[in-house]
Amino acid sequence: MNQDTSDDAGVYLIRDDLALIQTVDFFTPIVDDPYYFGQIAAANALSDIFAMGGQVKTALNIVGFPVKQLGAEVLARILQGAQDKVAEAGGVIIGGHSIDDKEPKFGLAVTGIAHPDKIYRNQGAKEADVLVLTKPIGTGIITTGIKKKQDQVPKSQMDEVIHWMSMLNKAASDTLKPYDVHAVTDVTGFGLLGHAFEMIKDADLSLELSLQDVPLISGTRELAEQGYVPGGSKSNLQWLKPHIHFDEELTETDQLILADAVTSGGLLIAMPEKEAEKYTAEMMKNHHFARIIGRFTSKHSKKIFVQC
């Protein structure tokens, strides 16, 4: 099988009817609570399997941790958070590796499976498809705000961002199965605009988005306006700018929000509008989240056009 590094995970064909999907991700703590950090790191690492339409099978822990300074109990909470999420995903953690490390780091190497004909790619969107997003954005800005402002950020805001980051993309992916799906990816470090751009950059397509259609986690705008924007989000906007046409009325803050570096974001799905309407209705009815946020057009400019 050919290697296609811009897809969400590596795919290896075992048989005509069975492909392995493998992915790995780890990072430094994004929240103070070790149990939630473990959950979020796991949900984030598992996400690429769901973005490709796979089933999670096994995972390995990847741990860098200062046991002498922080204690084995903290590490045990991180591992428990991850174990609970992998179990919820339908998989099992079968091992791992840890090293002594001044700064804690945690993540997973994950193996999933899928039928080779049923794997979702980030390419394949068609003209007149709409773009669906299955989690609101803003995690980079909010977690930066929480780190810098500490207890000034209301607990409800903290709970909300943890809720979204620890949520698996399993329901979003499983619900998608019967629908006509043209392309899927997940929103992570390159932000909503960066991952959306991945979907059109090799196709003769443009994408039209409206800021007002993009769901934000509560507090995102307020914190962004106060300047709590991570470096990764700023550099996303820098490299994306040549590929995006922002309406004049959009402020720098608006642009940074759309480019915000996301941890454990939702799926981005390209599908026909009628299908998307049914899919988003089914997701909302089952107390999940999905919203149509844009439309693919064939302006042959490979650009994203963003309106207010």
HSE-CB at 32 with a 13 A cutoff on CA atoms is 9
**CA atoms of 25 and 46, how far apart (whole Å):** 9
- Give min distance, CB of 207 to Co ion, in A: 17
Count the residues of the shown chain that bind Co ion, applying the rule CB under 5 A: 4
Task: Work out how close the CB of 148 gets to Co ion at its nearest, in angstroms, rounded to a whole number.
Answer: 27
Interaction between residue 8 and Co ion (CB under 5 A): yes
Q: Which residues contact 21 (CB under 8 A, 6 or more apart)?
A: 9, 10, 11, 48, 49, 52, 54, 111, 112, 113, 114, 119
Dihedrals phi, psi of 244, to nearest 5 degrees: -130, 135
Segment interacting with Co ion (CB under 5 A) among 63-71, 99-107, 179-187, 288-296: 179-187
Check if the beta carbon of residue 134 is closer than 8 Å to that of residue 289. Answer: yes
Smallest distance from Co ion to CB 229, Å: 22
Residue 180 touching Co ion (CB under 5 A): yes
Nearer to Co ion, 186 or 254 (CB): 186
CB nearer to Co ion: pick between 8 and 260: 8
Stretches 5-13, 14-22, 75-83, 95-103: which one binds Co ion (CB under 5 A)? 5-13
Segments in the chain forming alpha helices (H): 34-51, 67-70, 72-88, 139-149, 155-166, 170-176, 191-200, 220-225, 231-240, 252-259, 273-285
Residue of minimal CB distance from Co ion?
A: 8
Q: Which of 7, 25, 48, 208 binds Co ion (CB under 5 A)?
A: 48
Stretch of 29-37, 164-172, 181-189, 239-247 lying at the interface with Co ion (CB under 5 A) = 181-189
For the CB of residue 37, give the shortest distance to Co ion in the complex, in Å: 20
Rounded Cα gap, residues 229 and 293, in angstroms: 23
Q: Measured from the CB atom, is 199 or 224 closer to Co ion?
A: 199
Give the shortest CB-51-to-Co ion separation in angstroms: 5
Query: Least distance from C-beta 53 to Co ion, angstroms?
Result: 13
Does 7 bind Co ion (CB under 5 A)? Our answer is no
Name the one range near Co ion by CB under 5 A: 44-52, 91-99, 229-237, 238-246: 44-52
Give min distance, CB of 132 to Co ion, in A: 14
Name which of 127 and 180 has its Cβ closer to Co ion.
180
> 113-116 long-range CB contacts below 8 Å, 24 or more apart?
113/18, 113/19, 113/20, 113/21, 113/54, 113/55, 113/57, 114/19, 114/21, 114/52, 114/53, 114/54, 114/55, 115/17, 115/18, 115/19, 116/11, 116/13, 116/16, 116/17, 116/18, 116/19
Q: Distance (Å, rounded) from C-alpha 60 to C-alpha 82?
A: 10
**Site membership for Co ion, residue 198 (CB under 5 A):** no
> By rule CB under 5 A, what string of x and - marks binding of each residue 77-116 to Co ion?
----------------------------------------
Largest pairwise CA distance in the chain: 58
Comparison of 186 and 208: residue with beta carbon closer to Co ion = 186
Could you list the residues that contact Co ion (CB under 5 A)?
A: 8, 48, 180, 186
